[in-house]
Amino acid sequence: MTAAWNFVCAIEAVGKTPEGPHFQQTLMHRIAQNLLLQTAGYRQRPRAFELSTELGLPPYLPTATIPVRFHVRNWKFVHAVGRMVRNGALEVEPAQLWEEYGFVSRGILGMHNMKPIMAITAAREVKFLFVRIGAFDRRLEFRVRV
C-alpha cells in the first residue's frame, strides 16, 4: 500500500477518537496554510498541481513525505477553509469519491451547509494523496460513509 493510502487510513482512525474531528479540522487548516506557502511565488496560482510534502502530525499520523495532487477551483476557498476551521463551521465526514479516471478513493470531506468544501482522499492503486478545495465538479460523485 502507498504512503498516501496509509495516511488516509490513519486520518480515518483518528476520526473515531474523541479528539478526532478537531484533529481532522486542524489537518485541513494546516494543509490549506501549506498550500498557500508553497504557491506564494506563483504569479498566477494553478488550479491543479503536484508537490511532495510531509503532512504527518505526530503522534497521530505517519510523517512520510507524500506526493500530493492538489485541485483548487477558486483560491478564495483556500482562505475560507482556514476561516471556517477557526469558526467551527467546517464539519468533517468520512467519504468515498468516485474519480473521473474510474477508481474509487476514500478519505474525509470538509462540509459546510451540506456542501463539500475540501476533501483529502487516496486510492489504493495511486501513490498520490488527493486534496481538493472547492474543486468538485459534476463528474465527481461522492458519498458520505456512515
pLDDT attached to residue 122: 92
Q: How far apart are the two ends of the chain, measured CA to CA in Å?
A: 24
Pick the more confident residue, 60 or 20: 20
Q: Which of 132, 131, 129 is nearest to 66 (CA)?
A: 129
Q: Is residue 136 predicted with pLDDT exceeding 80?
A: no
> To the nearest whole percent, how much of the chain has pLDDT over 90?
10
Q: Is residue 103 predicted with pLDDT exceeding 50?
A: yes
Chain mean pLDDT for the chain: 82
Distance, in Å, from the CA atom of 46 to the CA atom of 2, rounded to the nearest integer, reads 26
pLDDT attached to residue 146: 43
